[in-house]
């Protein structure tokens, strides 16, 4: 079925139809399309544009179609006719079969241009809500692990440039990801606010001569407002670009976390053992426990970023208003939504059951000879040595230790005093790993008391109401 066929003297070629049909992917908009049509029919009746009785007949037919489609899907049956070019055409075809010619009144004062923009906004609004819930589950897993390892004060090397830098609590490390995902939640909510504008009533591009009430349909569909400019309403895909940008940013954070889990689960690190449920084996090497799920999350981040770049490239230079190019937005949006929600789900499950190896982490800390070097420089600075001089002297101490194959902890007090008479016996206590961590008691630091505060704040943030 086509909604425009009478304009032409011949049918589209089968090749052209198959090339341009969007039903294979926009079928997932069926619920949103029906919901929008119910609201539109209700408005047509209330505004006297079509008889109220016919509006009610259309609404009843649409609700029955919704039931029929859901029943078929529950039975693993395909409820859609592949000869319909898109989901909008398919729903109208079904409605015509069910209630006859009255179905033709539904499209009064409406175009597929504002219809598809509406469907996509409704879909993305729901997608944002789903992503928000998935992020919460992941954040809860991070908090649970952080709390558990705060009790034992699990310490590991902190890294810069992939090199040992300073010792930190594992809890502090995990909470760094909590705040990344918190910003992702903020971005999802912020993005949702701009998605949450009804385009219904813009028609093809110029509005309509019918006495419609866009505010009525907006309220019915739980939008806080309707569009301001009909041309902008049907051409705007900023909201889709923004959604993909949010998704790509979140996937980047997931990729970092997944990459660390892959690295940490290797024999060279041994910092974490991933549960069997989140690993796979080898077809040839019987001993293998491969972190495939984490690796896939890492890989899929590039996929979502690609969708973002693709959509921005698609929109660049498009003249107003609707162009068929915009059909290409949906697969990018749908796949990014699927990929992000799937990645959030598996990462939450993986973290809930991850066994972080505190003993192996502590061994790595103790085997690192210069993790406390910053503390040595600070020690001198607190004794009125300008920090740059303290830094320079500490660097010389490190170089001397390297030449003698010693760690800072191996130095005797006599050796310390050869570098500076300011060193006293308390330098040895300062170099103890736990003391180094506890010394970082500045706000937001890795000291246990600060991490305790951070966990409390994280829990409060999780419980705070959100707008979007």
Tokens of residue 466, six digits? 């959100």
Report in angstroms the alpha-carbon separations of 364 from 164, 205, 258, 271, 359.
Answer: 9, 64, 21, 9, 9
**How many angstroms from the chain centroid is the CA of residue 465?**
19
- The H or E element containing residue 298 is helix 292-315
Of 20, 266, 282, 392, catalytic: 282
3-state helix, strand, coil in the chain (%, to 5): 65, 5, 30
Residue linked to tokens 């598996």 = 346
User: Is 37 marked active-site?
Assistant: no
Say how many C-beta atoms besides its own lie within 10 A of residue 67's C-beta: 10
Residue linked to tokens 């923009």 = 117
User: Is 161 marked active-site?
Assistant: yes
Q: How far apart are CA 231 and CA 411, in angstroms?
A: 75
Peptide bond into 321 cis (omega under 30): yes
Q: How far apart are CA 111 and CA 234, in angstroms?
A: 10
Contacts of 413 (CB under 8 A, 6+ apart): 423, 424, 425, 427, 428
Q: How far apart are CA 206 and CA 233, in angstroms?
A: 10
Of 161, 283, 313, 442, catalytic: 161
- The set of catalytic residues is 161, 282
């Amino acid at each position: 079925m086509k909604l425009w066929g009478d304009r032409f003297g011949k049918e589209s070629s089968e090749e052209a139809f198959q090339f341009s049909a969007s039903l294979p992917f926009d079928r997932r908009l069926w619920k949103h399309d029906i919901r929008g049509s119910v609201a539109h029919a209700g408005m047509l009746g209330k505004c006297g544009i079509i008889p109220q009785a016919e509006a009610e007949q259309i609404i009843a037919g649409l609700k029955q179609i919704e039931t029929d489609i859901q029943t078929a899907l529950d039975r693993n049956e395909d409820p859609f006719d592949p000869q319909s070019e898109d989901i909008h055409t398919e729903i109208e075809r079904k409605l015509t079969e069910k209630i006859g010619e009255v179905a033709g009144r539904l499209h009064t004062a409406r175009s597929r241009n504002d219809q598809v923009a509406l469907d996509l906004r409704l879909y993305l609004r729901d997608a944002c809500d789903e992503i928000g819930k998935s992020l919460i589950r992941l954040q809860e897993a991070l908090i649970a692990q952080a709390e558990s390892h705060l009790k034992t004060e699990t310490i590991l090397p902190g890294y810069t440039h992939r090199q040992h830098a300073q010792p930190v609590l594992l809890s502090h490390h995990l909470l760094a990801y909590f705040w990344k995902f918190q910003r992702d939640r903020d971005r999802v909510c912020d993005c949702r606010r701009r998605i949450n504008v009804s385009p219904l009533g813009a028609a093809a591009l110029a509005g309509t001569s019918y006495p419609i009430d866009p505010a009525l349909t907006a309220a019915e569909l739980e939008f806080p407002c309707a569009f301001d400019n009909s041309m902008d309403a049907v051409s705007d895909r900023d909201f889709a670009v923004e959604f993909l940008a949010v998704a790509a940013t979140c996937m980047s954070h997931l990729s970092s976390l997944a990459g660390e889990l892959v690295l940490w689960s290797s024999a060279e690190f041994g910092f974490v053992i991933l549960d069997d449920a989140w690993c796979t084996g080898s077809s040839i090497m019987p001993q293998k426990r491969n972190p495939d799920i984490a690796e896939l999350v890492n890989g899929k981040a590039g996929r979502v970023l690609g969708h973002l770049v693709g959509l921005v490239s698609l929109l660049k230079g498009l003249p107003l208003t609707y162009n068929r190019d915009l059909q290409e937005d949906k697969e990018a949006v749908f796949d990014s939504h699927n990929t992000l929600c799937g990645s959030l789900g598996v990462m939450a499950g993986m973290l809930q059951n991850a066994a972080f190896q505190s003993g192996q982490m502590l061994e790595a800390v103790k085997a690192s000879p210069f993790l406390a070097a910053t503390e040595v420089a600070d020690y001198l600075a607190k004794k009125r040595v300008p920090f740059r001089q303290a830094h320079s002297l500490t660097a010389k101490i490190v170089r001397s230790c390297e030449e003698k194959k010693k760690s800072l902890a191996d130095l005797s007090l006599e050796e310390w005093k050869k570098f500076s008479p300011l060193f006293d016996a308390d330098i040895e206590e300062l170099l103890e790993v736990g003391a180094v961590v506890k010394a970082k008691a500045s706000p937001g630091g890795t000291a246990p008391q600060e991490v305790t505060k951070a966990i409390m704040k994280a829990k409060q943030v999780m419980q705070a109401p959100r707008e979007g």
